[in-house]
Amino acid sequence: MRRLRNRRGVNVDQTALLIELEPVVAANLDRHLSLAKEWFPHEYVPWSEGRTYDGLLNGEPWKPTDSPLPDVARTALIVNLLTEDNLPSYHHEIATLFGRDGAWGTWVHRWTAEEGRHGIALRDYLTVTRAVDPIALERARMVHMQAGYNNDHPEEMMHSIAYVAFQELATRISHRNTGKATGDPIAEQLLARVAADENLHMVFYRNLLAAAFDLDPDHAMQAVTDVVAGFQMPGANIEGFQRKALSIALAGIYDLRQHRDEVLQPVLRQWNIFGRTDLGAEGEKAREELAAHMDELETQAARFEEKREARRLRQNR
Ligand SMILES: [Fe+2]
Ligand SMILES: [Fe+2]
């Protein structure tokens, strides 16, 4: 197999990589389709709890007391839904990078259709149960989608694949823990269903990058290091994200510990990052940088946990 150029800063031939990975995409697409379960958003929504809203149909305006959901669960649901809502931007990014032909194109469209279901289901649930202010939610959607989403590595396949592998797992964890935080078995069931989809998406991309590692270990290693070091959640440009992310972290729905130990580590382990013997000098250098970054994340995660515990004790006094 033809080797791809692999020095950092030198462009790897993206078209060659697309072609070389095509059979892997085809095999993993088949695997995905054999494992993905059909499901219906309408079955997850308690429609009979719904009431007409004010405005055109003269129903009842939304009030915060309409729903018993904890504030942080509402915040997390809003962040998760807005993140799902930006699907047209994500589709644009991956369709541009992967193309719309062959197995790549089939995957791009299938993935987009599955992701579309997530936003539909979450919005129906929130609207029917009156869990969040529907006007604020709609305005936030408009702002967020108009800002769009940009791939941090638009020219680089390996970076993009590494990013989505981590990001799919991050959304899985975030959806699942958001479900638990609602205290509502219906929301929990819905979010567990969505999380199961995200997990299959993660496996697809994780397998793809595993194959890329075999083609060009040094460049794949560099891509992983760059992506881990610069990782941001896909919804990071939501208005007020920092404040929302902090309350989500304080509630243990998604924090640095989970990011490091439940998102980054398991994927790095699957790629056998720290056991590989096929790296050249550039790959070794990138691996050392990654190890240092993971240590730094450990320190930061521990510090956050200490602060959170101190805060909890203060509040319980
Ligand atoms: Fe999703
Ligand atoms: Fe996904």
**CA of 118, nearest ligand number:** 1
Tokens 């305005």 belong to residue:
139
CB atoms within 10 A of CB 224: 29
Q: Is the pLDDT of residue 245 over 60?
A: yes
Reduced to 3 states (helix: H, G, I; strand: E, B; else coil), residue 60 is: strand
Residue 115 assigned to a binding site = yes
Name the band, by pLDDT with cuts 50, 70 and 90, for residue 9.
very low
Provide the Cα torsion 301, 304, 306, 309; round to 10°.
-120
**CA of 198, nearest ligand number:** 2
> Mind listing the pLDDT tens digit for each residue in 67-90?
999 999 999 999 999 999 999 999
**CA of 164, nearest ligand number:** 2
Alpha-carbon Rg for the chain, nearest whole angstrom, is: 21
Mean pLDDT, range 221-245, rounded to an integer: 95
Contact 125, 186 (CB under 8 A): yes
Cα-to-centroid distance, 160 and ligand 2 (Å): 14
Name the band, by pLDDT with cuts 50, 70 and 90, for residue 65.
very high
**CA of 193, nearest ligand number:** 1
Cα-to-centroid distance, 221 and ligand 1 (Å): 26
> Mind listing the pLDDT tens digit for each residue in 288-305?
999 999 999 999 999 999
Q: Is the pLDDT of residue 2 over 70?
A: no
Cα-to-centroid distance, 115 and ligand 1 (Å): 5
Residue 219 assigned to a binding site = no
pTM, two decimal places: 0.94
Cα-to-centroid distance, 107 and ligand 2 (Å): 12
Cα-to-centroid distance, 149 and ligand 2 (Å): 15
Higher pLDDT, 16 or 34: 34
For residue 60, what are the β-bridge partners?
Answer: 53
Mean pLDDT, range 114-135, rounded to an integer: 98
Cα-to-centroid distance, 199 and ligand 1 (Å): 10
Mean pLDDT, range 267-290, rounded to an integer: 97
**CA of 85, nearest ligand number:** 1
Cα-to-centroid distance, 194 and ligand 2 (Å): 8
Cα-to-centroid distance, 191 and ligand 1 (Å): 10
Tokens of 110: 């299938």
pLDDT at 11: 55
**CA of 110, nearest ligand number:** 2
Cα-to-centroid distance, 197 and ligand 1 (Å): 7
Mean pLDDT, range 132-146, rounded to an integer: 98
Q: Is the pLDDT of residue 6 over 50?
A: no
Residue 138 assigned to a binding site = no
> Mind listing the pLDDT tens digit for each residue in 209-225?
999 999 999 999 999 99
How far is 212 from 210, CA to CA, in rounded Å? 5
Name the band, by pLDDT with cuts 50, 70 and 90, for residue 3.
very low
Cα-to-centroid distance, 190 and ligand 2 (Å): 15
Cα-to-centroid distance, 142 and ligand 1 (Å): 19
Reduced to 3 states (helix: H, G, I; strand: E, B; else coil), residue 254 is: coil
How far is 32 from 205, CA to CA, in rounded Å? 11
pLDDT at 154: 85
**CA of 194, nearest ligand number:** 1
Query: Which percentage of the chain shows pLDDT scores above 90?
Result: 92
